Structure 1
């Protein structure tokens, strides 16, 4: 059956992201600090953000020869002014692509090449990598800039080089233009090992901001609430749920460049933070770490969980410590801009990802491609104004996941109860979700097979309840003459770690005589996962 949202449909925006955010629907005071550096207290007010965005856009045009539909790559950890180059690219009538600040040269070069980025905004921590990648793909050094106030390796800070006196005049997009003009190019990993650029339009973002915020508006006090940002802004969850939401609502957000539990607790206590968008591994720490008990976190009212499933038991553990905190889940993907389903704060069901947001429809289909009855398992397919335009330079992949009716096939298996609350129970796609990040098994397998001592390999995700996340595990067959040992296992894991960003590293390794495969040669990952479950059950079996 087809499920339609039971929430009232919204009259969605029909303008660009710039027009939408700076229309200031909720009359945010122009001098209210919105984006605040949690470390040193620097901030941008609503008026300063708008001013710097427009000046940045003009700087792109005047200094970098930036034209309509050109792309700015933002390659940095969270910064209080991260939104300036993001929105500045849009103000110059172009687009922005956000890159993981820990990417190596190969990974960054791939994204720069795919997105055809013309300008890079990097950080002092990764400027050397940015320079190498820029040289590889042919981006002029004069189009590289850094966050901060000092030049690094000859690269100027963008605040000094691009924020002149002129202000850009963004195009006033019609609704049709907003539905077709790409604003963001976030990259989503695929099971083939190569990440895909997701073309997110202006209308996708403005629609989803309204869909996402509408469900919480009755419970939010825009004059008093404060948010904390520890989720990475390069990820669509942080970009949307924090930056767009904060500016749209006019709610101050305290930005941490990276997560540290004690720093997080200190900021919550000191600034009386009320809203915290987090991921399950952070909720594990809040539930289990003793140091948390040393802080007064009673100001926290709304906890948002996304990027990976949050179990009902973990949610209850957190609330046992923080009884004042309501924890709601949201479900989405980069391809959905990103939210499609969320728990209403007044009727949270532990373990549920929520109900369909306004203007959304869904269907649940079985292996035969037919819609399943309510209460039966099936793949979740979603349709709405927030579904991406498609994958960048990849119409074949787009056609494979968006059907003729406009439904995006998520690869997640769900069950829907009689009240239309959705529960994720499995995943068809092979992606591993490690602490909210996507890890494609095929990429790690390709690296493993380059090792001279690895004959064959397979990688699967093994769920670790203690960390509330899947962990990438390799199953390896060694070449003749190499004997399995802990030393060899460490050697292979380091071989992989040296070639990938930290979140893609293997977390465990098992030696096997052969990799289970189908007659066609496809790795039978479920066989390996079943073996892992059997191993865990054996280890945990009471000793007689």
Structure 2
């Protein structure tokens, strides 16, 4: 059975992302402040965004010999002007890859190498990591720039001083085939290898903007409604649902560099924020922390949650504490640019991920490979204009998840009810979702097996209800010369922490005599998860 969106199909533009934004369908005045720094109150108007984008594009061409098809990496937290280098690289005919600013040099090098990046824009704070990775990737130090107004002591200068103020393109370079040309490469963690680069085309982005517009714009009451950016722009959720939607709608976007509960509440109070995209752990804080009640959050009307499952109970807790707020939920993946479902304005059904966006069809396929119908569970397969082109330099992985009909196999188990609401009920993939970030067990296991203490290991996700997230938990078999102890566990945790970004760190270490495996040697994670659940149940008794 094929499930169809109940929404009227939207016409997908055949154009590049920058041309699409500059087309200005919502008639945004050039002098309207669109981007606001939550800390400094610095701003950028729509006119300034357009001008600086075209200056940046020309600067890339003149100073970095940046050509059509070249790749620029942004290695930074949220910045008020994040969109300038992003759109500027696209306007120059290139592609952008966005990297987590907390990456180690090892992690960044993998992304730079796989994407073949030629230019990096980072911050003064993480310039040492950027330069170390750039050196190993063969990127010239002169092609490394920083945000802000101050040069790094190590050499990189602000992009605003080097790339802006000179020549300016008359218009963005034409995107000849938006359906095929790649606009951005975010990285999606795999279960058996290092993260894979997802090739997202220009049409993938523009189509998802319009698909989201059809579902979310009714939640926006006025062009003057202020939106809040606290989710990271390096993640496609923050990039598309937050940054691009604000630029398309023309609603002022107040940008936080990272999440902090005090600043989050202060910003809502100060700027009268109406709409914010969040993840479940933020909702936990709003529901349970007394701090939130000390601020005037009465302007807040809608919170959209994504990146991880949201329970009905947590939704109701938040809405009971803030009666004027509607909490909605969406679902998607990096490979789907990213949104597939979201709650419609006219009816919000808590505990579900909403309904299929326009132009999307879906199938539910059971373990026998048969399509099933309404109310039956199985893997969710989806098809639409927002499905990625594929994984960079990995045709095998692409072929494994996109079939001959064009359906992307999500790896998530879902149920679609008679009204078209989608509920995600399980995950086939082994990925751990820690506070909205993907943690690949195989990567951590590979690192841990390099420790002289560890004979064997397995990593699983253990759900923590209090934090509304999974926690990376390692089961470890020690070599004979080492004894299980709290101190040994801390040594193992530090061994991993020294090599990975914060969200990938192992939070729990449990010692085992052996790791359960199949006859073929595959780790039987379900057995470990069952054991972890039993331990959690006993701890509550």
TM-score normalised by structure 1 residue count: 0.98
Deviation at 1:13, TM superposition (A): 1.4
Task: Output the CA distance in 2 between the equivalents of 1:227 and 1:219.
Answer: 11
Task: State the secondary structure of the residue aligned to 1:296.
Answer: coil
> 2:202 matched to which residue of 1?
202
Superposition map of 1:50-449 within 5 A: 50-152=50-152, 153-168=154-169, 169-174=171-176, 177-449=177-449
How far does the alpha carbon of each residue in 1:114-161 deviate from its partner, in whole angstroms, 9 at most, with x for none? 111110001011000111111111101111100000111221100000
Task: Output the CA distance in 1 between the equivalents of 2:338 and 2:278.
Answer: 15
Deviation at 1:231, TM superposition (A): 0.3
Deviation at 1:481, TM superposition (A): 3.0
Task: State the secondary structure of the residue aligned to 1:47.
Answer: helix
Task: State the secondary structure of the residue aligned to 1:118.
Answer: strand
8 Å contact from structure 1 (residues 2, 362) kept in 2: yes
Deviation at 1:346, TM superposition (A): 2.3
> 2:518 matched to which residue of 1?
518
Task: State the secondary structure of the residue aligned to 1:460.
Answer: strand
> 1:484 matched to which residue of 2?
484
Task: Output the CA distance in 2 between the equivalents of 1:427 and 1:525.
Answer: 12
8 Å contact from structure 2 (residues 93, 175) kept in 1: no
Task: State the secondary structure of the residue aligned to 1:9.
Answer: coil
How far does the alpha carbon of each residue in 1:294-322 deviate from its partner, in whole angstroms, 9 at most, with x for none? 00101011111010011110000101111
How far does the alpha carbon of each residue in 1:238-260 deviate from its partner, in whole angstroms, 9 at most, with x for none? 00011110000000011011111
Task: Output the CA distance in 2 between the equivalents of 1:471 and 1:442.
Answer: 15
Task: Output the CA distance in 1 between the equivalents of 2:536 and 2:375.
Answer: 30
8 Å contact from structure 1 (residues 193, 441) kept in 2: no
How far does the alpha carbon of each residue in 1:513-543 deviate from its partner, in whole angstroms, 9 at most, with x for none? 11011111100000000001111112222xx
Task: Output the CA distance in 1 between the equivalents of 2:373 and 2:302.
Answer: 34
Deviation at 1:214, TM superposition (A): 1.0
Task: Output the CA distance in 2 between the equivalents of 1:506 and 1:418.
Answer: 41
Task: State the secondary structure of the residue aligned to 1:457.
Answer: strand
Task: Output the CA distance in 1 between the equivalents of 2:5 and 2:392.
Answer: 29
Point out where structure 2 has 5 or more consecutive residues left out of the alignment: none
Task: State the secondary structure of the residue aligned to 2:179.
Answer: helix
The CA RMSD measured in Å over matched residues stands at 0.9
Point out where structure 1 has 5 or more consecutive residues left out of the alignment: none
Task: Output the CA distance in 2 between the equivalents of 1:164 and 1:296.
Answer: 41
Deviation at 1:193, TM superposition (A): 2.8
TM-score normalised by structure 2 residue count: 0.99
Task: Output the CA distance in 1 between the equivalents of 2:494 and 2:166.
Answer: 50
How far does the alpha carbon of each residue in 1:396-443 deviate from its partner, in whole angstroms, 9 at most, with x for none? 100000001100000000111111101011000000010010000001
Task: Output the CA distance in 2 between the equivalents of 1:61 and 1:481.
Answer: 58
Task: State the secondary structure of the residue aligned to 1:190.
Answer: coil
Task: Output the CA distance in 2 between the equivalents of 1:242 and 1:215.
Answer: 14
Deviation at 1:490, TM superposition (A): 1.0
Deviation at 1:370, TM superposition (A): 1.0
Task: State the secondary structure of the residue aligned to 1:274.
Answer: strand
Task: Output the CA distance in 2 between the equivalents of 1:178 and 1:494.
Answer: 45
Deviation at 1:19, TM superposition (A): 1.0
Task: Output the CA distance in 1 between the equivalents of 2:233 and 2:127.
Answer: 18
Task: State the secondary structure of the residue aligned to 1:139.
Answer: coil
> 1:6 matched to which residue of 2?
6
Task: State the secondary structure of the residue aligned to 1:200.
Answer: strand
How far does the alpha carbon of each residue in 1:465-503 deviate from its partner, in whole angstroms, 9 at most, with x for none? 100101100001111132211111111111111111000
How far does the alpha carbon of each residue in 1:241-297 deviate from its partner, in whole angstroms, 9 at most, with x for none? 111100000000110111110110000001100001000000000000011010010
Give the total of aligned pairs.
539
8 Å contact from structure 1 (residues 462, 470) kept in 2: yes
Task: State the secondary structure of the residue aligned to 1:463.
Answer: strand
Superposition map of 1:450-469 within 5 A: 450-469=450-469
8 Å contact from structure 2 (residues 302, 325) kept in 1: yes
